[in-house]
Amino acid sequence: MTDFYEYYKTWRDFPIAEHFRSVTESMVAAILQKQRLSVKDFFALLSPAAEGFLEEMAQRSHDLTIRNFGRSVLLFTPMYLSNYCSNRCVYCGFNVDNTITRHHLSFSEVETEAQEIAKSGLKHILLLTGEDKRRASIEYLSQCVRIIEKYFTAVGIEIYPLETEGYRTLVENGVDSLTLFQETYNETLYEKLHPGGPKRNYRFRLAGPERGCAAGMRAVNVGGLLGLDDWRREAFFTGLHADWLQSRWPEVAVGVSLPRMRPHAGKFQPDFPISDRHLVQVMTALRLFMPRAGVTISTREGAQFRDNILPLGVTTMSAGASTAVGGHSRQDADSTSQFDISDERNVPEMVEALKGLGYQPVYKDWQPIGASLP
Ligand code: SF4
């Protein structure tokens, strides 16, 4: 078996909806007695039959999270470098067909933005761009990393998928983690949602995380954009993908993110909205299946929901977020936002909230050898 796609195909044509219906409550009860879960057990915990066991799943998920991560939450913030994009993703405000203000940060703007974010004390940053290989080239991104590494110890990227060599170049320049969402694991739906641009290549994107692992990324995050397709399927393939990566690259910290669709520029409405309760089912099923996987809940979610879901398995949260290009330092940045954020708390407010819930906010859990940052 050479890549995840080959493994994915063995499940892709499986009658998933029918099998979800065939899971019984007694099957779920038996699975919850197990110490280690198989892929089929994970599948069963995403079924309608498991909905009656949510409290038990939440308790076990909480216990496993405390055992593996303590009461700590790693904080990071996104930094948008550019919203130029050549793709036509129907659900995204940066879609090339949308008439929005476009901006691309100059290197001096990158430095100003980094300085502004660094005042919050955060040490983990996630760099984002649209897919514009001329403006947001590997050389441009490398230079951005060299500028901001004075301020941050951990630099992640959430950009268009690269070849292994491209990822390796960025790792050599200081990038340590990769986030790459498949958006939807449904290959047929993927074609419809991506009517134009290089992102139409489903397989190239799907193999991006494994190329990132092969290139030496310290951490790799995968996930789907919940709301695009049946959430049970999407959650199942997210777990399958993360587990497959972790089994092949045990040295990489594989994590999952659970982003839900948010309002954005454009008319697209999700066909499969996922309720809070079902998001809890997804998160706890993932935790029981992969006890050591990082789980990220972003500011797409509201403050109250984030606080409530925190003890059930979350390990990483964004704070003080802006989805606008240069959103922390440019006066007119708001018109360049990718989507509306929901939890608008700044870093000190997030820190207070976490402490109030009995959790330790973590600014830094890693730094490159030789780095001199405090
Ligand atoms: S989701 Fe990404 S690739 Fe698609 S239009 Fe938005 S920024 Fe571009």
User: Minimal CA–CA distance to 226: which of 266, 285, 185, 255?
Assistant: 185
- In angstroms, the CA 306 to CA 101 distance is 30
- In angstroms, the CA 216 to CA 211 distance is 9
Give the distance (Å) from ligand 1 centre to CA of residue 71: 34
Nearest CA to ligand 1 atom 5: 95
Question: pLDDT at residue 90 above 70?
Answer: yes
Q: Is 322 helix (H, G, I), strand (E, B) or coil?
A: coil
| Structure token digits, residue 201 | 């290549």
Which pLDDT value is given to residue 112?
96
Q: Does domain 55-362 match CATH 3.30.460.80?
A: no
Which pLDDT value is given to residue 14?
84
Question: Is residue 339 lining ligand 1, measured as CB closer than 6 Å?
Answer: no
From 8-12, 54-58, 199-203, the region with the lowest mean pLDDT:
8-12
Which pLDDT value is given to residue 13?
85
Question: Is residue 94 lining ligand 1, measured as CB closer than 6 Å?
Answer: yes
Q: pTM for this structure?
A: 0.95
Characterize the bridge pairing of strands 177-179 and 219-222: parallel
Ligand 1 pocket: which of 87, 129, 228 to mutate (most atoms within 8 A of CB): 87
Give the distance (Å) from ligand 1 centre to CA of residue 184: 13
User: Minimal CA–CA distance to 19: which of 39, 37, 2?
Assistant: 39
Characterize the bridge pairing of strands 72-82 and 154-158: unpaired
User: Minimal CA–CA distance to 243: which of 204, 194, 210?
Assistant: 210
pLDDT average, residue stretch 193-219: 97
The domain locations on the chain are 55-362
**Which residues are CB-neighbours of 313 under 8 A, at least 6 positions away?**
61, 62, 64, 65, 283, 284, 286, 287, 295
pLDDT digit string, tens, across residues 52-81: 999 999 999 999 999 999 999 999 999 999
Nearest CA to ligand 1 atom 1: 92
Which pLDDT value is given to residue 263?
62
Q: Is 246 helix (H, G, I), strand (E, B) or coil?
A: helix
Q: Which atom of ligand 1 is nearest to the CA of 199?
A: 3
Which pLDDT value is given to residue 270?
83
Question: Is residue 129 lining ligand 1, measured as CB closer than 6 Å?
Answer: no
Which pLDDT value is given to residue 266?
65
Nearest CA to ligand 1 atom 7: 130
Question: pLDDT at residue 323 above 80?
Answer: yes
Average pLDDT across the chain, whole number: 94
Give the distance (Å) from ligand 1 centre to CA of residue 104: 15
Ligand 1 pocket: which of 89, 181, 182 to mutate (most atoms within 8 A of CB): 89
Ligand 1 pocket: which of 82, 85, 194 to mutate (most atoms within 8 A of CB): 85
Give the distance (Å) from ligand 1 centre to CA of residue 132: 10
- In angstroms, the CA 104 to CA 110 distance is 10
Q: Which atom of ligand 1 is nearest to the CA of 129?
A: 7
Give the distance (Å) from ligand 1 centre to CA of residue 133: 13
Under the banding of pLDDT at 50, 70 and 90, the label for residue 32 is very high
- In angstroms, the CA 348 to CA 84 distance is 31
Give the distance (Å) from ligand 1 centre to CA of residue 267: 15
Count the neighbouring beta carbons within 10 Å of the beta carbon of residue 1.
9
Which pLDDT value is given to residue 95?
92
Q: Which CA distances in Å does 301 have to 237, 289, 295?
A: 22, 23, 14
Question: Is residue 85 lining ligand 1, measured as CB closer than 6 Å?
Answer: yes
SS (H, E, C) 324-352: CECCCCCCCHHHHCCCCCCCCCCHHHHHH
Question: pLDDT at residue 207 above 70?
Answer: yes
Question: pLDDT at residue 147 above 90?
Answer: yes
- In angstroms, the CA 141 to CA 212 distance is 16
Q: Which atom of ligand 1 is nearest to the CA of 85?
A: 8
Give the distance (Å) from ligand 1 centre to CA of residue 199: 8
Which pLDDT value is given to residue 1?
52
Q: Which CA distances in Å does 170 have to 23, 159, 214, 369?
A: 45, 12, 13, 16
Question: Is residue 95 lining ligand 1, measured as CB closer than 6 Å?
Answer: yes
Nearest CA to ligand 1 atom 4: 89
pLDDT digit string, tens, across residues 97-117: 998 899 999 999 999 999 999
Give the distance (Å) from ligand 1 centre to CA of residue 87: 6
| Structure token digits, residue 234 | 């999407």
pLDDT digit string, tens, across residues 247-304: 999 999 999 999 998 766 567 788 898 999 999 999 999 999 999 999 999 898 999 9
From 92-96, 102-106, 151-155, the region with the lowest mean pLDDT:
92-96
Question: Is residue 87 lining ligand 1, measured as CB closer than 6 Å?
Answer: yes
